[in-house]
């Protein structure tokens, strides 16, 4: 888990006082991981960008009320991950209920697939969004299972079982893909 | 494979276009930060000097920029207590997403205020459920996702204009657009492009919601006609109306309003003329309220410089009309929220958007031009919201 550094506390204080450079420092520090976390949960680049952006906007709206003794990261990550889960669930529902006229005319992604990371991304995509979120919080954002339970308001046992099942799925998916 | 290896691979996954996304997000976050209104009471003794400085700056702004303040004061009118002011678009007052055509291209604004610039396109409008957008780029008709990914494009010579996406029927859709004087129709997957009429005036076509792909458009000699797009069969044609400016259907497909320079004419589904009503001043825009037979008309009195938005009942043209807004200055565009409770309009003179809500509530958002500029310098231009530009809560 990210530890509240002296720099971050100073940035929060500065941003609360109206310093754009302190806000930028906070943004640059937290954006990449917030954006990646959202992307890994929703598996959609545009939605991930919107979700991470909305989380920062939400942070700005609440900046004056933010208790600067608390770390900024977990607060932001809670917003990002919960919104990403909501979005992924909503998309799954939409896809079940009705397809759009163009849904079957999906263009391939513009970027070439990375042979090293793509199998993991694909394996993650096969998990339910709630399981993806737990994996992302543990392995990308480096929270402990206890912290994840607190962030997502889940029993610790649920977090552990989702982690275990998620990792099993990833492990089983990877060797097959590597042989291809 | 070890847990550590899995972790290493997860960390190595990056979203496409990551740096560009960061740049876009920072621009939005920075604007929101500049425009925020602190709500808490700071605890430090620095607060008073800061507040004093803010007050002086506000005073300077008021002196330096009186037209904007005057215009906003006028908007307060008799319902001062019902008007809320915001310096930035932190959120939309109702569900859905707003499509905004700016000089730099279309933006998609989500309910909570996050927004995305799609690229160098123009005249963007939504697909029926807001999952896609059709827009123009030079000589191309382009279908793209709200995230900016292009699905297909169609290159045509001549000047392209007014792309409009139909309702969805059995999994397929149509797009009508103008190429020079021609009205053309293409399927929603970019196939089957063909001419429907070789000579029409420059007025946006409008699809009738219903069981077939019926497109209405302004024809020659000031008439409006409705054609079945797949067969080219003319369903009906109106008499001479004058000079149609815009067409809009109620969402049950039972009423068509044709906006004329100084009037609005209403037709039934099969072309029966139900009436005509005068518009105060010169008409500028029309929009049917969702799930109702009422439409809003924006008009401007050139003599007084006053603009009015009037809500008119299409089933009782003379009996029922209500002024939703009357204010000095120039307005443009009308967009209803998907739930039909809020109406958005652009107040160019004040560089503001106005959201007119239930029971006379108004929300004013200022500095719109700057919020929809790309920050590349130069004077920011006031953006436009296309008809039906506030779309689709389910897609949010």
Check pLDDT > 60 for residue B37: no
pLDDT digits (tens, 9 = 90+) for B104-156: 899 999 888 888 899 999 999 999 889 899 999 989 999 999 888 899 999 99
Return residues 7-36 of B near A (CB < 8 Å).
7, 9-18, 21-22, 24-26, 28-30, 32-34, 36
Check pLDDT > 80 for residue B88: no
Give B20 or B286, the one with higher predicted confidence: B286
> Long-range contacts of range B373-377, CB-CB < 8 Å, 24 or more positions apart?
B373/B102, B373/B103, B373/B104, B374/B27, B374/B102, B374/B104, B374/B117, B375/B27, B376/B104
B-chain CB neighbours of A64 within 8 Å are 38-40, 42
| Listed range (A64-73, B247-256, B332-341) with the worst mean pLDDT | A64-73
Q: Are B323 and B308 in contact (CB under 8 A)?
A: yes
What pLDDT shows up at residue A98?
44
Is residue B39 a part of any domain in this protein?
Answer: no
Residue closest to A30 by CA, chosen among A82, A88, A84, A71: A71
- B117 CB neighbour count, 10 Å cutoff: 20
Domain borders along chain A are 6-179
Helix A45-61, helix A20-42: angle, nearest 10: 140
Is residue B163 a part of any domain in this protein?
Answer: yes
pLDDT digits (tens, 9 = 90+) for A74-127: 999 999 999 999 888 887 766 554 444 444 333 334 344 566 677 888 888 888
- The answer to whether A46 contacts B42, with C-beta atoms less than 8 Å apart, is no
Give A69 or A97, the one with higher predicted confidence: A69
Element (H, E) at B292: none
Residue B192's Cα: distance from chain center in Å? 28
In angstroms, what separates the C-alpha of A32 from chain B's closest C-alpha?
8
pLDDT digits (tens, 9 = 90+) for B180-193: 999 999 999 999 99
The structural domain count of chain B equals: 1
Q: Which domain holds residue B330?
A: 68-395
B-chain CB neighbours of A166 within 8 Å are none
- The answer to whether A35 contacts B149, with C-beta atoms less than 8 Å apart, is no
Name the superfamily (CATH) of residues A6-179.
PhyR, sigma-like (SL) domain (1.20.140.160)
Backbone angles phi, psi at B384, to 5 degrees: -120, 145
What pLDDT shows up at residue B59?
39
What pLDDT shows up at residue A8?
83
Backbone angles phi, psi at B78, to 5 degrees: -85, -15
pLDDT (mean) for B232-261: 96
In angstroms, what separates the C-alpha of A154 from chain B's closest C-alpha?
22
DSSP-assigned letter for residue B115: E
What pLDDT shows up at residue B74?
53
How many degrees, rounded to 5, is the angle at CA A25 between CA A21 and CA A27?
110
Distance CA A23, CA A63 (A): 10
Check pLDDT > 90 for residue A158: yes
Check pLDDT > 50 for residue B24: yes
Arithmetic mean of pLDDT over chain B? 85
What pLDDT shows up at residue A88?
87
Helix A20-42, helix A72-97: angle, nearest 10: 40
What pLDDT shows up at residue A119?
80
Residue B160's DSSP bridge partners are B179
Distance CA B295, CA B263 (A): 13
What pLDDT shows up at residue B307?
93
- B250 CB neighbour count, 10 Å cutoff: 23
Cβ contacts of B332 within 8 Å, gap of 6 or more = B284, B285, B298, B345, B346, B348, B382, B384
Which residue in chain B has the smallest CA separation from A117?
B9
Check pLDDT > 60 for residue B28: yes
What pLDDT shows up at residue B77?
53
Distance CA B309, CA A95 (A): 39
CB pairs under 8 A between A and B: 166
Check pLDDT > 60 for residue B63: no
Residue closest to B297 by CA, chosen among B336, B270, B271, B328: B336
Report ipTM for this prediction: 0.85
What pLDDT shows up at residue B47?
45
In angstroms, what separates the C-alpha of A2 from chain B's closest C-alpha?
15
| Listed range (A57-66, B92-101, B184-193, B264-273) with the worst mean pLDDT | A57-66
- The answer to whether B188 contacts A101, with C-beta atoms less than 8 Å apart, is yes
Residue closest to B216 by CA, chosen among B179, B267, B275: B267
Check pLDDT > 60 for residue B73: no
* pLDDT band, very low/low/confident/very high, at B4 (cuts 50, 70, 90): confident
Residue A49's Cα: distance from chain center in Å? 11
The residue length of chain B stands at: 396
Most confident of B106-115, B198-207, B343-352: B198-207
* pLDDT band, very low/low/confident/very high, at B72 (cuts 50, 70, 90): low
| CATH number, domain with residue B260 | 2.130.10.10
Check pLDDT > 80 for residue B272: yes
Is residue B247 a part of any domain in this protein?
Answer: yes
Distance CA B289, CA B311 (A): 9
What pLDDT shows up at residue B147?
84
pLDDT digits (tens, 9 = 90+) for A33-42: 999 999 999 9
Which residue in chain A has the smallest CA separation from B11?
A140
What pLDDT shows up at residue B354?
94
pLDDT (mean) for B7-31: 85
Arithmetic mean of pLDDT over chain A? 80
**Residue in A100, A174, A178 to test binding to B, most B beta-carbons within 10 Å:** A100
């Amino acid at each position: 888990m990210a530890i509240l550094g002296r720099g971050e506390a100073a940035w929060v204080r500065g941003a609360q006082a109206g310093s754009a450079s302190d806000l930028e420092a906070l943004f640059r520090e937290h954006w990449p991981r917030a954006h990646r976390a959202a992307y890994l949960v929703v598996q959609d680049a545009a939605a991930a960008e919107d979700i991470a952006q909305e989380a920062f906007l939400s942070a700005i709206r609440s900046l004056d009320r933010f208790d600067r003794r608390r770390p900024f990261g977990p607060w932001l990550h809670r917003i990002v991950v919960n919104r990403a889960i909501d979005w992924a669930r909503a998309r799954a529902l939409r896809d079940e209920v009705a397809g759009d006229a163009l849904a079957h005319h999906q263009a391939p992604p513009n970027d070439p697939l990375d042979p090293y990371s793509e199998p993991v991304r694909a394996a993650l995509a096969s998990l339910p969004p709630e399981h993806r979120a737990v994996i992302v919080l543990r392995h990308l954002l480096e929270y402990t299972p206890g912290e994840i339970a607190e962030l997502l308001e889940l029993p610790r046992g649920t977090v552990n079982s989702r982690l275990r099942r998620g990792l099993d799925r990833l492990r089983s998916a990877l060797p097959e893909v590597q042989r291809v | 494979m070890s847990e550590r290896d899995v972790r290493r691979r997860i960390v190595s996954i990056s979203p496409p276009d990551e740096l560009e996304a960061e740049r876009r997000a920072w621009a939005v976050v920075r604007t929101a930060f500049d425009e925020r209104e602190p709500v808490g009471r700071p605890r430090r003794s620095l607060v008073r000097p800061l507040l004093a400085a803010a007050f002086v700056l506000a005073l300077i702004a008021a002196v330096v920029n009186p037209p904007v303040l005057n215009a906003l004061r006028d908007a307060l009118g008799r319902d001062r207590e019902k008007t809320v002011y915001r310096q930035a678009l932190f959120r939309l007052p109702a569900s859905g997403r707003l499509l905004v055509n700016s000089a730099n291209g279309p933006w998609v604004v989500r309910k909570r205020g996050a927004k995305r610039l799609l690229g160098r396109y123009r005249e963007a409008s939504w697909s029926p459920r807001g999952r896609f957008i059709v827009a123009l780029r030079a000589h191309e008709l382009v279908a793209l996702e709200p995230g900016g990914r292009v699905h297909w494009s169609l290159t045509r010579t001549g000047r392209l204009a007014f792309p409009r996406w139909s309702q969805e029927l059995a999994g397929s859709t149509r797009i009508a657009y103008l190429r020079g004087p021609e009205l053309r129709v293409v399927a929603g997957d970019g196939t089957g492009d063909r001419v429907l009429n070789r000579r029409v005036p420059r007025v946006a076509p409008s699809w009738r919601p219903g069981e077939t792909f019926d497109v209405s458009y302004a024809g020659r000699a000031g008439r409006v006609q409705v054609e079945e797009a797949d067969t080219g069969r003319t369903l009906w044609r109106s008499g001479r109306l004058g000079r149609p400016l815009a067409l809009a259907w109620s969402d049950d497909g039972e009423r068509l309003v044709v906006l004329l320079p100084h009037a609005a004419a209403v037709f039934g589904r099969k072309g029966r003329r139900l009436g005509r009503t005068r518009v105060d001043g010169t008409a500028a825009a029309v929009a049917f309220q969702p799930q109702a037979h009422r439409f809003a008309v924006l008009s401007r009195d050139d003599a007084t410089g006053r603009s009015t938005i009037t809500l008119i009942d299409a089933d009782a043209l003379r009996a029922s009309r209500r002024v939703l807004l009357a204010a000095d200055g120039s307005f443009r565009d009308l967009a209803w929220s998907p739930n039909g409770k809020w109406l958005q309009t652009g107040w160019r003179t004040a560089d503001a958007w106005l959201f007119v809500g239930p029971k006379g509530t108004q929300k004013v958002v200022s500095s719109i031009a700057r919020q929809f500029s790309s920050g590349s310098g130069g004077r920011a231009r006031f953006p436009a919201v296309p008809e039906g530009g506030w779309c689709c809560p389910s897609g949010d």
